């Protein structure tokens, strides 16, 4: 049975267990946690060699910088457009007006950071001990270190070949391990859905149904309008891309973890036709800086809270929210409960009380599923866009080189022969 069908069955069983036997449902969370642990233990051992090899085999350091620049520019532009879509949709629908914010229980926010320390973010990206970074699952720090190692390997040339062979072997073994882990994904799905339904229930669902609907509508616009438009501009087969990653996006949806599919996602994109060097660099970078679904949720949530508390929602105030989120969303890397933390920090920045965020915690798992799935699709498209841009550049350069090539000697001689 296909893994997607198994996961759908697991969703149904999990919902039944969580509803009919809540105590058993909460205990089944361990299945999901075991699955995520198995995924996370293999992510860095796979991502690190792929990034190093991808960079080491690029033609020059200049190309590394060019791809990084294109990726970050793309992330910034698309994130800003998505924020504008979310704020506009939330403002138009008026979500949050009359919301029962007085019932918000702030206990769920205990111990959660009230802001983002960019000083700590920089230190997080440049760890003093790479082994400690690996142990902590510090993806951003691993990317930076892999970048340095890849550039060094490219600089020393043939001397790095033995190390490159070792990294190739490590990557091949890790891909095989990932294949084994993905086979038990339905068990992880069963555990998470059982726990979510048993633990959260649907008590706040009725009062927050408008918020959930707006978030899902916004994500549908992103997937169905914005992404196809971007794909058309860069001549990417968007529907085929969706088909190739649909199963992985579904696993990310129900597990609420995009990390759970990071390793197999790069393999799927490579099979789709993207170059390994681009995919292995852009996708992990996107996991830190390109959270399309999450930023849409944060923007909709901010407008919801502003309406609920009767705060200013004029155009300048909305644009201020967008600006704050553009900056803060880039600080999400390595932050636990990242979307909630960014939402609290952004709310503080525009004068909204953190207690209001507690109202959304009861339905957070419902919107978290969708935003995580969209994050996976968005990063796949980002890799495809950068790869397409590089392919066009190579094609143009090849055309210029052909046009500059002098005529063949034989042809010149024939042209000089007098007519008979």
What's the pLDDT at 410? Answer: 45
CB 259 within 8 A of CB 40: yes
Number of continuous H segments (helices) and E segments (strands) in the chain:
20, 0
| Separation of alpha carbons 400 and 292, rounded Å | 37
What's the pLDDT at 398? Answer: 63
Q: With 0-12 CB in 10 A as exposed, 13-18 as middle and 19+ as buried, what is 34? A: middle
What is the CATH code of the structural domain delimited by 3-398?
1.10.3860.10
147, 139, 109: which is closest to 121 by C-alpha? 139
What's the pLDDT at 342? Answer: 73
CB 15 within 8 A of CB 191: no
285, 288, 407, 300: which is closest to 364 by C-alpha? 300
Q: How far is CA 122 from CA 25, 116, 166, 333, 417, in A?
A: 40, 11, 30, 10, 70
Residue ranges per domain, the chain? Answer: 3-398
What's the pLDDT at 386? Answer: 93
pLDDT in tens, the chain (420 residues): 777 678 778 888 988 998 888 888 888 889 888 887 887 788 788 888 888 887 887 766 677 788 888 998 999 899 999 999 999 998 888 887 776 665 555 454 444 444 445 566 677 678 888 888 888 777 778 888 888 898 888 888 888 889 989 998 998 898 888 888 888 888 888 888 888 778 766 655 566 788 889 999 999 999 999 999 999 999 999 999 999 999 889 888 887 777 778 888 988 999 999 988 888 888 888 887 788 888 898 889 888 888 888 887 888 888 888 887 877 666 554 444 566 767 777 777 677 776 777 777 767 777 888 888 899 999 999 999 999 988 887 776 666 666 665 554 444 443 444 444
Sign of CA dihedral 200, 203, 208, 214: positive
CA 89 to chain centre: 22
CB 193 within 8 A of CB 11: yes
What's the pLDDT at 403? Answer: 61
Residues 6+ apart with CB under 8 A from 57: 154, 277
What's the pLDDT at 289? Answer: 78
According to DSSP, residue 419 is labeled P
Instruction: Give me the DSSP letters along 326-368.
Output: HHHGGG-TT-TTHHHHHHHHHHHHTT--GGGHHHHHTTHHHHH
Residue 48, classed as helix, strand or coil, is helix
- Tallying the residues shown for the chain, one arrives at 420
According to DSSP, residue 128 is labeled S
């Amino acid at each position: 049975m296909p893994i997607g069908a198994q996961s759908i069955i697991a969703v149904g069983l999990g919902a039944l267990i969580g509803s009919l036997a809540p105590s058993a449902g909460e205990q089944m969370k361990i299945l999901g946690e075991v699955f995520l642990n198995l995924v996370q233990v293999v992510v860095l051992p796979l991502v690190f060699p792929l990034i190093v090899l991808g960079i080491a085999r690029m033609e020059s350091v200049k190309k590394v910088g060019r791809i990084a620049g294109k990726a970050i520019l793309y992330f910034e532009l698309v994130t800003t457009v998505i924020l504008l879509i979310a704020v506009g949709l939330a403002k138009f629908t008026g979500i949050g007006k009359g919301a029962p914010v007085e019932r918000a229980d702030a206990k769920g926010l205990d111990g959660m950071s009230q802001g983002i320390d960019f000083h700590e973010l920089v230190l997080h990206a440049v760890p003093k001990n790479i082994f400690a970074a690996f142990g902590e699952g510090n993806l951003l720090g691993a990317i930076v270190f892999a970048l340095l190692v890849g550039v060094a390997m490219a600089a020393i040339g043939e001397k790095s070949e033995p190390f490159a062979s070792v990294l190739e072997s490590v990557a091949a073994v890790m891909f095989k391990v990932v294949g084994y882990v993905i086979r038990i994904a339905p068990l992880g799905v069963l555990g998470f859905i059982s726990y979510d339904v048993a633990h959260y229930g649907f008590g706040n669902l009725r009062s927050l149904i408008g918020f959930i609907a707006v978030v899902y509508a916004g994500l549908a616009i992103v997937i169905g309008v914005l992404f196809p438009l971007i794909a058309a501009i860069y001549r990417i087969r968007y529907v085929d891309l969706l088909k190739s990653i649909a199963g992985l996006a579904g696993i990310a949806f129900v597990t609420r973890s995009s990390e759970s599919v990071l390793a197999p996602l790069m393999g799927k994109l490579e099979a789709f036709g993207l170059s390994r060097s681009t995919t292995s660099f852009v996708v992990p970078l996107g996991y830190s800086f390109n959270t399309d679904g999450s930023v849409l949720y944060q923007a909709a949530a901010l407008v919801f809270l502003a309406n609920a508390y009767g705060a200013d929602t004029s155009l300048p105030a909305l644009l201020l929210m967008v600006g704050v989120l553009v900056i803060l969303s880039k600080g999400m890397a390595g932050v636990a409960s990242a979307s909630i933390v960014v939402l609290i920090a952004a709310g503080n920045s525009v004068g909204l009380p953190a207690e209001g965020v507690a109202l959304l915690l009861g339905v957070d798992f419902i919107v978290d599923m969708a935003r995580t799935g969209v994050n996976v699709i968005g990063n796949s498209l980002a890799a495809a866009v950068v790869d397409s841009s590089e392919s066009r550049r190579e094609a143009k350069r090849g055309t210029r080189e052909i046009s500059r090539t002098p005529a063949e000697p034989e042809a010149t001689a024939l042209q000089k022969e007098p007519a008979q």
